[in-house]
Amino acid sequence: MILLLGSALALLVALLRGGRFSRLSGVTLRYGWIAPLAFALQVAVIYFPLSQPKGPWGWHALLLVSSYVLLILVVSLNWRLPGLPLVGLGLGLNLLVMVANGGFMPVTYEALQRAGMAHLALSDAPGSRIMATKDIVLPLESTRLWVLSDVFVLPPPLPVRSIFSLGDLCLVGGMFVLFQRLMCPRSHHGRTNEAQGRSGEFLASPPLT
């Protein structure tokens, strides 16, 4: 939820700053077709079917981890785009804690209760899936690299309830930079500096003979 909310906010800010969706049409992702495949794997794991994992590293976990590896691959092939290094960092942090805890993102039952989302857990037993998420219930003392897990909570009465990780914050930050830099017109100062840079390169080049 925090990723959708953050991306929507980034788009809104870009539009308010004079950004246009048409500027995104000129952006080409190398091997960009891999990203929809990765998201399809996540949808399959999160929604179809929802069952208790048979211990760590069942096929649900393998598909979920594979989707992150594919997304990191796409980011690494396009890392020069603004914001994508931060997106890659967020994906890497999430993948690290998931791999350390059996392939799913750990969250405590207490955090679910604070967020008003405890009803989404199949049970409060360790390893239980959380409906419509990539999370499993895991006590904090049993969570490896717990600081990277879903530990941040947006509780009621906030209109949006969510639990998210440090990696998710990096993802949102990367998406914010991406939309601002690609959608919004560059300032006059930036264009002037760029023109001066090109002029300097021209003046520094040796004369033709």
Is 160 part of any domain? yes
- Number of domains comprising the chain: 1
pLDDT attached to residue 49: 60
pLDDT attached to residue 208: 39
Is 60 part of any domain? yes
Average pLDDT over residues 156-171: 89
Is 209 part of any domain? no
pLDDT above 80 for 32: yes
Please tell me the distance from the alpha carbon of residue 86 to that of residue 205, in angstroms, as a whole number.
Answer: 36
Is 108 part of any domain? yes
pTM, whole model, 2 decimals? 0.85
**What domain range is 163 assigned to?**
2-204
Is 150 part of any domain? yes
Q: Please say whether the beta carbons of 104 and 58 come within 8 A.
A: no
Is 73 part of any domain? yes
Least confident of 21-25, 29-33, 196-200: 196-200
Burial of 130 (0-12, 13-18, 19+ CB in 10 A): buried
Is 30 part of any domain? yes
Is 14 part of any domain? yes
Around Cβ 157, how many Cβ atoms within 10 Å? 6
**pLDDT higher for 55 or 156?**
156
Q: Give me the chain's average pLDDT, please.
A: 86
Please tell me the distance from the alpha carbon of residue 68 to that of residue 73, in angstroms, as a whole number.
Answer: 9
pLDDT above 70 for 148: yes
pLDDT, tens digit, for every residue of 85-106? 999 999 999 999 999 999 999 9
Q: Structure tokens of 193?
A: 């500096």
